[in-house]
Amino acid sequence: MHISGEEWLSISALRGAALKGKVFEVLQKAASAVQTEASDNPGVLEVVPRLADIISDRPELISFREPLSSLARACGLWNYIDKDVASEPDLLLAEAVTVPELDGVTLHREQIEALNDLLAGRNLILSAPTSFGKSLLVDALLASGKYLRVAIVLPTIALLDEFRRRLRRRFGDRFFLIMHPGEEAPDGAPTIFLGAQERLIHRSDLGKLDLTVVDEFYKLDPSRRDDRSITLNAAVYKLLNRSKQFFFLGPNIDGVRFSEGGKWKFEFLRTRFSTVAVDTFDLRSTDNKEERLLDEIGEEDNWPALVFVSSPDRANKIANQAAEGMAVSDTAGKFSEWLAENVGEKWSLVYTVKYGFGVHHGRLPRAIASQMVRLFNEGTLPVLFCTSTLIEGVNTAAKTVLIFDKNINKAPYDFFTYSNIKGRAGRLGQHHVGKVFLFNETPAHEEMEVYPTLFGDEDAAPLDYVVQLDEQSIKASTDNRLTSIREILGLDGASLKLAASLGLESAQALKAEVSKALAQGAPIAWAGFPRYPEIKSIVSVVCKVRKASEFGAYTVNSLTYLINALRKARSMKAFLNEYDENYIGQPESYDNVFRFLRACEYGLPQWFSLVEAFVRASGRAADYSAFVQSLSRWFKAEILKNLDEEGIPIQISERFHVDEDKATLTEKLAALAQSQSDELTPFERDWIISALELKSAVL
């Protein structure tokens, strides 16, 4: 069964008896198709959300609510059963698959099938569309009471925080949630470890796990050209060795390859089951695409709208152009003012946000990025320009997706990525029918098969991966490879694993540069906290192997200056304001400073530590540990960075931090926000209340 988008538009334009007759006809055809076509046929499934959208808006169709519920039951879209009017059999089914512990969410048929496999103890790899509701299955498993110690691997901090908020709200009284490196799991207590691979691989308190969950599991495949894939595979290998069961989930995967006689057995469930419908509009032949883009994002009927572009610079630039031509909101001014004061007036986002245009990409400070998504979902920022970072699991309430560019950075995206971007249109319970606007040719359809390194033959695995495995897990046949690389680098243990995480070829190049620097008398053998020339010497060595631009700077001198300025700054606000005053580059490149701050957290500390390891291996005394640890937290207290990851910007928290621990500072901020303290602006109070999910202050 297939009804085109044009036909649905003509149906929705009808009124009265003509509309009723057409809806009755569609219901008849759909009821027949359910009996003869595949259970996850998109053409049949989309009838339910489309009719739900029309019926909810037309009083003359009220009598069709019960038949629609019967169709929803037959299709397996049990979450569309209208409990107020459903027949007794339909109502009983809906009640049976409603989970009170999950805020009364009703699951659909395919969710129940996957859940049954998992509760039976099977390892499951699930491939399903974005709108399937995969994360609900994780929550349902936790609600079952069967799993007491769980590790959840997520690709980004934004997604970590989204999971943390949801799990704390639903299970905060049943589980300890461990997300930050400094937090420790209590002995024997039900615990959920949330983390990206770089964090979980270094945890020593995991113990025996009941369940390991890996979201966006396609990133395990090295062919996706993700430079974090090696560490992800090694981290998941470590977790699976400790875990009774695993659950991998991700979108639009057609198959999973593994070597014969593999260590782990699993079931692979692939479904096309989608809970929303999508209208696609082809704008490829449009003469002036930028003008058409501005026309579409200016239409209120398309809000909330995500605009996909290829890079952070493009997102900043096009958002700025949009703001020059129109305003789509008059309620975002306070956010704009806060950004101007706490970051800098030259930042282009100060201007774009003022007129209702948000931006989301990997360079943004985490609390600000979280606020962008929150204000987008609330409608304060109706249009959000984004890069591929937003397709990696972060939930938005987007009705419309406009796919404006055809590249990610400078490489064309493939059909798999295109499908994931397109899948962001529509949201169950808010926008039953989403819209997608295409401005370029779509990639050719191709099957997406994932081949995780950890499911492959260890003898053929990259040495970068093998090095990071536990010694007792390594096959004897690979031991010669390890012995060889140990001898070449002169490293062992944790230092060798650090080298592998950065790439063994790059590590060999770095070793050569360290040797040269030492021979030339460069001051790289020191302990404690370095002086400016010593920082510059380490930076110079690292930048012989990696470009300064990878760390958010243009040259060795500018990177050294930024590190020293961050160390000397009395606050993050002061550091950013100084950067703003001195900035003379292109507006769209302003936020390289945030790329630098990310590099201080992860990147620079690892490279500096590897330099130290090679210096020590040469027989010289060196200890960078105090400096590296301080750099990784921006020379501030660790809890300020942790709160920033949880949605409270460091520019706010650092004003009130004395020597408290995280819990005490959080309570202080909550009390200030709820008491309407003048020490916070009204906008800051609302920000804290939203980030901590508190009740609003009583007026």
**pLDDT (tens digit, 9 = 90+) per residue, 485-536?**
999 999 999 999 999 999 999 999 999 999 999 999 999 999 999 999 999 9
Phi-psi region of 521 (alpha: psi -120 to 50; beta: other; left: phi over 0): left
Could you give the CA distance from residue 631 to residue 520 in angstroms, rounded to a whole number?
27
Strands (E), 292-423: 305-308, 357-360, 383-386, 400-403, 407-408, 411-412
Q: How far apart are alpha carbons 420 and 408 in whole angstroms?
A: 13
Kindly state the tokens that stand for 656. 């009130």
User: Helix, strand or coil for residue 513?
Assistant: helix
Name the token pair of 433: 């029918």
What domains sit in the chain, N to C, each tagged with a CATH number?
5-96 (no CATH), 109-270 (3.40.50.300), 277-438 (3.40.50.300), 457-623 (no CATH)
What pLDDT score does 427 carry? 87
- What tokens appear for 648 in the block? 């409270």
Q: Are strands 383-386 and 400-403 parallel, antiparallel or unpaired?
A: unpaired
Is residue 414 exposed (0-12), middle (13-18) or buried (19+ Cβ within 10 Å)? middle
Residues in contact with 367: Cβ distance below 8 Å, sequence separation at least 6, in sequence order: 643, 644, 645, 646, 647, 648, 649, 650, 691
How far is it, in rounded angstroms, from Cα 248 to Cα 217? 6
What is the reported pLDDT for 697?
54
Digit-coded pLDDT (tens) for 295-311: 999 999 999 999 999 99
Tokens of 517: 């620097």
Question: Cβ distance 94 to 106 under 8 Å?
Answer: yes
pLDDT of res. 698: 46
Residue 444 has what DSSP assignment? P
Backbone angle region of 382, left / alpha / beta, with phi > 0 → left and psi within -120 to 50 → alpha: alpha
Residue 341 neighbours by CB distance under 10 Å: 14
pLDDT for residue 397: 86
How far apart are alpha carbons 327 and 220 in whole angstroms? 42
Strands 400-403 and 246-250: unpaired
Q: Are 294 and 320 in contact (CB under 8 A)?
A: no
Structure tokens at 513: 């540069």
Distances (CA, A) of 46 to 34, 72, 195: 12, 10, 35
pLDDT of residue 665: 98
Close Cβ partners of 359 (under 8 Å, ≥ 6 residues apart)? 315, 316, 319, 349, 352, 372, 384, 385, 386
pLDDT (tens digit per residue) in 255-276: 999 988 778 999 999 999 999 9
**Residue type (1 letter), 136:** L
Residues facing residue 277 across a β-bridge: 433
- Alpha carbons within 13 A on the beta-carbon side of 411: 7
- Which DSSP state fits 694? P
Residue 253 and residue 217: Cα distance in Å, rounded? 10
Tell which residue, 410, 409, 406, has the closest CA to residue 442: 406
The β-bridge partners of 67 are none
Any idea of the CA torsion for 481, 484, 485, 491, to the nearest 10 degrees? 130
The single-letter code of the amino acid at 426 is G
pLDDT at 474: 63
Cβ atoms 187, 194 nearer than 8 A? no
Q: Give me the residues of the chain with pLDDT under 70, please.
A: 393, 471-477, 696-699
